[in-house]
């Protein structure tokens, strides 16, 4: 309920005006690694030194012009090239609507395809993030097609709050592929997504189990300590090879826990967003935790 309200308010013009004006100084900088690729790479090197890999995200989504989608594609080509020469252990994550999916599926397919082609050339990897449910089918279609072209260079995200995900995962797992499992961060109607959080939490564990049992490489992307503990117990009981899964968290959240997992010998990765278009990403982070909104409101009132 809290999440729905905050995500809804994020679209309100007055609220977004205030958030855009003060957000970066009073909160967003906690979740955003910097404005430039150079800053994101510096953060990435520090995370690598702690034994943690990264996935770089150039912030931006829902572009409305083909030129903006082409610029986003080019920024990803540049990121892959920069990663290649940098010695940073990391890959990239991209949002399909940043590369044109809200404009035209064919345009997005072509732009994302060029990024995945380049990643394959450079022996790197592209994770296609999952956005809100109007884009789920098109995103999975693009993923399937690109996976046929470069099986080792592309993976996609699946969201536990959607009813459809168990079926999507079953269909996509033949043959096995590479998935990041998350709970889901967007506002979704109850006919598409579990309204109750305990159901989402339970489905998230079930999907991780299903994904690993089907032989997929599985990125478990959560800050939920009891879910992580459940997954750790499950993989240890099953004797699942540690090369078949990893734990991921977002920049700015629960880093000590991820470091502990790295010290315990698990593969770990931080999602490192950077760039100027931080607003929508920040609103999703506010919506995930009442304390974040309180922190922001307090900082705003005492500024």
Ligand X SMILES: Cc1cc2nc3c(=O)[nH]c(=O)nc-3n(C[C@H](O)[C@H](O)[C@H](O)COP(=O)(O)OP(=O)(O)OC[C@H]3O[C@@H](n4cnc5c(N)ncnc54)[C@H](O)[C@@H]3O)c2cc1C
Active site residues: 129, 180
CB-wise, 168 or 288, nearer to ligand X? 288
In this chain, which of 157, 207, 235, 293 binds ligand X, going by CB under 6 A? 157
CB-wise, 81 or 233, nearer to ligand X? 233
CB-wise, 75 or 159, nearer to ligand X? 159
Which one of 79-87, 167-175, 176-184, 275-283 is the stretch in contact with ligand X (CB under 6 A)?
176-184
Site membership for ligand X, residue 109 (CB under 6 A) = no
Shortest approach of ligand X to residue 282 CB, angstroms?
10
Site membership for ligand X, residue 288 (CB under 6 A) = yes
CB-wise, 109 or 269, nearer to ligand X? 269
Q: Residue 158 has which token pair? A: 């699946």
Number of H helices, E strands in the chain: 12, 8
Q: How far is CA 208 from CA 20, 49, 235, in A?
A: 36, 28, 10
Q: How many CA atoms lie within 13 A of 260 on its CB side?
A: 9
Site membership for ligand X, residue 154 (CB under 6 A) = no
Binding string, 231-260, against ligand X, x = CB under 6 A?
-----------------xxx--x-------
Which residue in this structure is represented by tokens 């012009």?
65
Residues near 214 by beta carbon (within 8 Å), at least 6 away in sequence: 169, 170, 173, 174, 176
In this chain, which of 83, 223, 262, 296 binds ligand X, going by CB under 6 A? 223
Shortest approach of ligand X to residue 221 CB, angstroms?
4
CB-wise, 142 or 185, nearer to ligand X? 185
In this chain, which of 185, 208, 272, 280 binds ligand X, going by CB under 6 A? 185
Taking Cα atoms as reference points, which of 245, 134, 250 lies closest to residue 189? Answer: 134
DSSP at 87: -
Helix segments in 214-278, DSSP class H: 225-238, 255-263
Shortest approach of ligand X to residue 82 CB, angstroms?
20
Within positions 260 to 279, which residues make up the interface with ligand X, using CB under 6 A? 271
Number of chain residues interacting with ligand X (CB under 6 A): 22
Within positions 115 to 134, which residues make up the interface with ligand X, using CB under 6 A? 129-130
Distance (Å, rounded) from C-alpha 222 to C-alpha 245? 13
In this chain, which of 28, 172, 207, 221 binds ligand X, going by CB under 6 A? 221
Site membership for ligand X, residue 222 (CB under 6 A) = yes
The pair phi, psi for residue 300, each rounded to 5°, is -65, -40
Answer whether 127's CB lies under 8 Å from 91's CB. Answer: yes
Site membership for ligand X, residue 58 (CB under 6 A) = no
Which one of 5-13, 72-80, 274-282, 283-291 is the stretch in contact with ligand X (CB under 6 A)?
283-291
Contacts 24+ apart (CB under 8 A), 188-195: 188/132, 188/133, 188/161, 188/162, 192/133, 192/162, 192/163, 192/164, 193/133, 193/159, 193/161, 193/162, 193/163, 194/161, 194/163
Answer whether 183's CB lies under 8 Å from 201's CB. Answer: yes
CB-wise, 189 or 239, nearer to ligand X? 189
Distance (Å, rounded) from C-alpha 273 to C-alpha 58? 6
Residues found near ligand X in the complex (CB under 6 A): 129-130, 157, 159, 182-186, 221-224, 248-250, 253, 271, 285, 288-289, 292
């Amino acid at each position: 309920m809290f999440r729905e309200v905050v995500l809804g308010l994020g679209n309100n013009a007055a609220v977004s005006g205030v958030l855009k004006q003060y957000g970066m100084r009073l909160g967003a900088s906690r979740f955003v690694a910097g404005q430039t690729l150079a800053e994101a790479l510096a953060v990435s090197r520090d995370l690598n030194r702690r034994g943690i890999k990264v996935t770089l995200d150039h912030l931006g989504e829902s572009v409305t012009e083909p030129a903006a989608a082409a610029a986003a594609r080019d920024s990803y080509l540049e990121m892959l090239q920069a990663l290649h020469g940098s010695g940073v252990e990391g890959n990239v994550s991209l949002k399909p609507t940043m590369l044109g999916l809200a404009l035209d599926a064919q345009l997005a397919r072509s732009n994302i395809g060029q990024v995945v082609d380049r990643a394959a050339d450079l022996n790197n990897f592209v994770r296609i993030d999952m956005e809100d449910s109007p884009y789920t089918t098109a995103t999975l279609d693009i993923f399937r097609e690109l996976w046929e072209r470069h099986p080792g260079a592309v993976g996609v995200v699946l969201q536990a709050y959607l009813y459809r995900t168990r079926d999507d995962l079953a269909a996509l797992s033949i043959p096995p592929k590479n998935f990041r499992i998350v709970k889901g961060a967007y506002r979704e109607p109850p006919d598409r997504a579990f309204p109750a959080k305990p159901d989402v939490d339970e489905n998230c564990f079930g999907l991780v189990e299903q994904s690993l049992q089907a032989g997929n490489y599985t990125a478990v992307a959560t800050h939920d300590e009891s879910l992580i503990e459940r997954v750790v117990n499950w993989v240890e009981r099953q004797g699942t090879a540690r090369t078949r899964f990893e734990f991921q968290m977002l920049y700015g959240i629960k880093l000590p826990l991820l470091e502990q997992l790295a010290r315990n010998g698990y593969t770990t990765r931080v999602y490192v967003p950077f760039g100027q278009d931080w607003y929508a990403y920040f609103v999703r982070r506010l919506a995930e935790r009442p304390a974040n909104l309180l922190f922001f409101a307090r900082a705003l009132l005492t500024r």
